[in-house]
Amino acid sequence: MKTLPSARTIAPRQLLFFLGCIAPLAKLVLLPAQLAADAKNDLLLSALLPVALESLSVFAAVLLAKRALSFFALLERSFGRAAATLGSVVLSLFFLFAAYIPLFEQKLMVQSVFYDTLPSDLLFAPFFLLSVYFCLKPLASFGRVFDLLGPLSVLSFAVLVLFSMGEADFAALLPAGISGAKGILTGAKHALAWFFDGALVLPLLDKIQYKKGLAWKAAAVHLAGGGAVLLFLALFYGIFQGIAPVQFFAFAKTAKYFPAVGILGRVDYLFIYALALAMIFASLMPMFSAVELLKEAFGESKQKCLFYSLLLNGAMIASSAALGFAFPAAERFLTRTLVWLFPLFSAALPLALLLLRERRKRREA
């Protein structure tokens, strides 16, 4: 078993910060309005299935890290190098697709919430420079960021929830089930495009400093993060009710009705900015994961790493230019036509790799 340098590993604490405190933030931008449009006041029921499925996939993926083998090595050991290379490329392409919604959510949020008078393409260009830069950095760089942003995210989210609580009418969530099974399941299906944290763990398998019980802790922490998302969804619908389907970027709006805001000004923006900063790194992880997979498949010299980063980020920039005014259509395509890709790669793949491992162990015995 090859020992990786510490700069290329992530500590259990840092992984838990990401799974429980940072990754859930990506579900607070456009997903609440999407769920409200599909399931109305049953949006919590629609979100329950993806949250539970994602936590199960996180458990399976982190449990795979116990083997201290990379995703590429797991496939190579069972199917050969060619199949491992193909699998890494396919998963990398999935991350490129999966990154589309989080990245463009950030672009639209920055344009709409923070700097609505500046051209969005010009404003968001530094994000891609940041993405190119961090895709070249070792995993430990993200780990240190998670150490800082994890507690900050928890504090900021708690304050915004506290500010919002008094304005929410939770009776609006009743009676449960009014949307019927069709509406609830439709909401759950469309929401799957935001739930792929299990897949994000796969490129990190040999880089996680696995300790006993980490898989259970990761699943529990991730469920806690999912619980925070459900709490926000309840607040969101309790505040906006009938107009919830058109309340995009709601995490930046719910706290503005807090009475003290009228006296002190938008003090809630301090915490909104903190969450937005953490969201940036949550949306960078799919791009980083895609680059990590290409490194395993084709080598990781400095020149190659730069090429991978420029290639993937260049593809995303091209998508930004080509689909600048077609995001709603692109989002519908991902959340309806291609939505099956998300449970396939995020849930089915980690579980299949676990079964593959067990079958391999029985053969070796």
Q: Which long-range contacts (CB under 8 A, 24 or more apart) does 183-186 make?
A: 183/38, 183/39, 183/40, 183/42, 183/46, 184/39, 184/42, 184/45, 184/46, 185/46, 186/38, 186/39, 186/46
DSSP state of 106: H
Nearest to 296 by CA among 95, 78, 98, 71: 71
Q: Provide the residue ranges of all domains of the chain, joining segments of one domain with +.
A: 6-354
Instruction: Name the average pLDDT for the chain.
Output: 90
CATH of span 6-354: 1.20.1740.10
Choose the weakest-confidence range: 144-158, 216-230, 252-266: 252-266
Residue 5 has a pLDDT of 47
Q: What percent of the chain has pLDDT over 90?
A: 73
Q: What is the pLDDT of residues 61-102, one digit of tens each?
A: 999 999 889 999 999 998 999 999 999 999 999 999 999 999
Q: What is the pLDDT of residues 33-54, one digit of tens each?
A: 999 999 999 999 999 999 999 9
Residue 123 has a pLDDT of 66
Q: What is the CA radius of gyration of the chain?
A: 20
Q: Residue 208's beta-bridge partner residues? A: 10
Q: What is the pLDDT of residues 284-312, one digit of tens each?
A: 999 999 999 999 999 988 999 999 999 99
pLDDT(7) > 80: no
Q: Which H, E and C letters describe 29-74, residue by residue? A: CCHHHHHHHHHHHHHHHHHHHHHHHHHHHHHHHHHHHHHCCCHHHH
Reported as type and span, the H/E element at residue 230 is: helix 214-240
